[in-house]
Amino acid sequence: MHNKIIRSFLIIFSLSFVIGFGILYGVLYDVSLNQQTSNLNDELSIIVQTNFEESQQIGEELFDKDTRLTMISSDGEVLYDNFDDSINENHLQREEIKEASKNGTGSSVRYSETMEQNYLYVAEYDAQEQTYVRLAMPFSGVSQSALMLLPSFFIAFVIAFFFVWLMSKRMADSILKPLQEISAVIRKADFGKEKIEFQNYSYSELQEITDALQTMNNQIAKNLENLEREKQIRQEFFTNASHELKTPLTSIRGYSELLRQHAITDPDQIDHCLDCVLKESDHMTKLINDILTISKLEAKDYVVQKSHIKLKDLLENVLNSLSVQAKAMNLDIDASCENVTVYANLDHIQGILYNLISNAIKYNKPNGKIIIIIKERLDNILIKVMDTGIGISKEDQEKVFQRFYRVDKQRSKIVAGTGIGLAIVKHIVQFYNGSISLKSKENEGTSIEISLPIMVNEEPNNLD
């Protein structure tokens, strides 16, 4: 890249130098042509005013100056030429004669076969004598001067070429050195695990590169931190999940062994054992279903079956399923639900209500209160659940929606659950492009508000 930059500069310089010399040559050529044409026109205007004999005398003088004088009749016959008196060729088709016949004066530059070199011709029509008077002189433009200047031009080119090479080398070094420094920092850096620092460069483009690399490093560090946190949460989940699965499995195994060994013969005790086995099986099934729900909601190609749902009826069913737990803690539940219909997946909406209300019951205080509000707001459905429970600390409020996270580790040992409930709620809300917010204060209670764009403005007639 270094050599390519220098080579490019030198090629551009050489082309520019040659083009500039060509332009200069063209300008000097035009200046020389115009100057000599003007001089010949001045001499020609004097000759035209003389008679034929005087013109011949002037022609002899011009011969010594290597200037050719030709007098041509109106029909193109050469009457006099001070260089060649044996010209028989008709001259009416000469460019300068044709132009003089049309405009009074004319000029041209061409190769003379008679003189065997380039000549500048200037002609003027003498209306009184009805003849064309023409002057001609050798004309090489500035070729001779250019040949004389060529050694100087070559020396100037070599000197300029050297300076351009020197400047381009310095410029290439100034451009590539920062890139080499940046490359060295990148090779040594352990992205995401340490802070990388670059020098401040005068080139804004290089500064943009270093800023982008620092931003990328910070993002990698953040991602690694998130991965580590996810790893810890997942490990904690597997510990909790294995414990949650181990406990019912141990109970199921114990009751099963008792029944198999016929250690219990009382029918009522046998029914109690079977009820416990079913209860623990239901607990394991719910845990596994929660895990599968999280996996489905995280899949990008997840497709669900939607239907029209009356929220008032659904809320009553959820409250009935949780009534035993609520009564056990003597909780006062105040539920307010407008007569609204939504279009969504039934399991999703039921999961939102069940998890929010279940958490409000489990983490409440005895004789506490739960307020449930479901209503329409700005073409969205608002679901709000408030409790007077133990609350959530500020540092935990940002984490409660993470998968498998549980706030109160000591209470979690007593209260059944895996910490998946609010994570499921958040994933469902995101699936429907909704929003969720949490407000909580320790020992005072928690309020969770959800807004979902699933409102149905016109209720179907066939909805039960």
pLDDT in tens, 271-294: 888 888 888 888 788 778 877 887
How confident is the model at residue 167, as a pLDDT?
Answer: 82
Tell me the three-class secondary structure of 114-179, residue by residue: CCCEEEEEEEEEECCCCEEEEEEEECCCCHHHHHHHHHHHHHHHHHHHHHHHHHHHHHHHHHHHHH
Mean pLDDT of the residues in the chain: 83
Q: Write the CATH number of the domain with boundaries 2-144.
A: 3.30.450.20
- pTM higher than 0.85, yes or no? no
Would you list the domain boundaries of the chain? 2-144, 214-294, 305-452
Between 168 and 342, residue with greater pLDDT = 342
Residue 2 has pLDDT above 70, yes or no: no
Tell me the three-class secondary structure of 253-307, residue by residue: HHHHHHHHCCCCCCHHHHHHHHHHHHHHHHHHHHHHHHHHHHHHHHCCCCCCCCE
- Lay out the sheet containing 117-126: strands in order across: 78-81, 68-73, 131-138, 117-126, 105-112
The amino acid occupying position 197 is E
84-96 average pLDDT score: 85
Q: Is 214-294 in CATH node 1.10.287.130?
A: yes
Percent of the chain with pLDDT over 90: 25
Tell me which H or E stretch contains 10: helix 2-48
How confident is the model at residue 408, as a pLDDT?
Answer: 57
Q: Write the CATH number of the domain with boundaries 305-452.
A: 3.30.565.10
Closest CA to 237 of 453, 421, 28, 6: 421
Q: Six-digit token pair at 327?
A: 């009564």
378-402 average pLDDT score: 89
Residue 243 has pLDDT above 90, yes or no: no
User: What gap in Å lies between CA 118 and CA 115, rounded to an integer?
Assistant: 8
